[in-house]
Chains A and B, each alone.
Chain A
């Protein structure tokens, strides 16, 4: 069965960097796009962008460009979200999510990771 397993919650100080992993199993990793979604505590979901695990290209949407970097390693079926120069407002749960249709993001995510809480505090 399809599974996305994310790395554990972490606490960081402002200015530090963090890398969240999302290990996929149960499907062809290079067939389905993988998105990243942020959820600030008590708020809604925000789509950050996605990785095209087939072509190697990642798209980060406006509002997340600059300090948020997507990458992936097809040899271990794992996607990564790196956040550089953390700020307190980056405190949130970050989810990876697989898109339903092969080779596209039209239909939207179907399977989600369990989420990774990043807490940024002095």
Chain B
């Protein structure tokens, strides 16, 4: 199973909005609404911020939102804050009853 495709890096200024894409195939992202997004700060474990494409766990601010169109899922962060600077990983369920991750996107808050 090939990794999902994410941009290596994105950046934005405080208060702005950014979107991170996650492109897969019809066998993963395009075939199922089981896309998750994780935030990972340096030296820390990943933290779930979006599940089932657009659902937020309790405690995750509504500045984080997810969507999907075809084989591409997206994570949008609005009202960027300094603490949002982290690596963001997407993940999807696949047709082989497994899961696959993207390569990760480093978000820099300028």
Contact = CB atoms under 8 A, between A and B. Distances in A.
**Real binding pair:** yes
Interface residues of A, number: 25
A47 B99 contact: yes
B103 interface: yes
Interface stretch (B45-53, B61-69, B78-86): B45-53
What bracket does the count of chain B residues touching chain A fall in?
Answer: 20 to 34
A106 B89 contact: no
Task: Please indicate which of the listed interface residues B89, B101, B103 has the most CB atoms of chain A within 10 Å of its own CB.
Answer: B101
Given A45-B89, A47-B91, A105 B36 contact: no
Task: Please indicate which of the listed interface residues A45, A46, A107 has the most CB atoms of chain B within 10 Å of its own CB.
Answer: A45
Given A45-B104, A47-B91, A107-B52, A114 B45 contact: yes
Contact of A47 (B57, B100, B103): B100
Contact of B48 (A43, A62, A95, A109): A109
A108 B91 contact: yes
B102 interface: yes
A97 B99 CA distance: 12
Interface in A86-110: 95, 97, 100, 105-110
Nearest to A47: B99
Interface of A: 35, 37, 43-47, 49, 59, 61-62, 95, 97, 100, 105-115
Interface of B: 1, 3, 32, 34, 36, 38, 45-48, 51-52, 57, 89, 91, 93, 97-104
